[in-house]
Structure 1
């Protein structure tokens, strides 16, 4: 049996509306929204009785997805939004963009902050990390040549 694809990356947030707006500004499309509170969901997550608002965001090519979740019950219990890049666990999502400077300019209007600086790797990429809504760590890459 072979792996078919990576379906999505999940990010738990507090402000779902602002996070959706930020990722729309980056260029993702809002594919759909729902409130999940059926019994099966709590069995999958191990949280039991849960109520979660979700928004599925999709990359323009239709292959990459982010599932943004806001837990209404039970409430979120851990917070690693300010963890440094070398913290253990899943930490960031990287996106390839056409123009890193233009993208930064647009995202700064939505509160994005540059973590370090924009750097060039050989003649292949310009790269940077930013903090998006709620401190979410996002990598941006611009292919060169």
Structure 2
């Protein structure tokens, strides 16, 4: 049975479908990282090596601008007692460089987590895990 996933809220004007989701394993790790680092964000830059992996940063640490696209916004529940999120929900934006979005505009992205070290810049690296993208071609016109 496939992992349950959390779809992001739609953020692109004129669209009515989510472009990005999180697996249950990614949500679980994000809750832990939120407790350690506070509010978080993702940025997918493209490029080679770890640049093609989604990077997770404390919210606002990676400055976004006109060269980036906000693909989705997640509201992650705090997971119940024992977490530090006081509001009961943890907002998390998923950004992608506009150039990369031009290449991936026909795909749905799912952020998953696997064992192994990715980039030292992404907050999950010390956990011995890394986020990765699983993509699927969308079957509707974009």
Fold shared, TM-score > 0.5 on shorter chain: no
**TM-score, normalised by the number of residues in structure 2:** 0.28
Could you say which structure has the larger radius of gyration?
A: 1
Q: Which has the higher contact order (CA 8 A, sep 6+)?
A: 2
**TM-score, normalised by the number of residues in structure 1:** 0.28
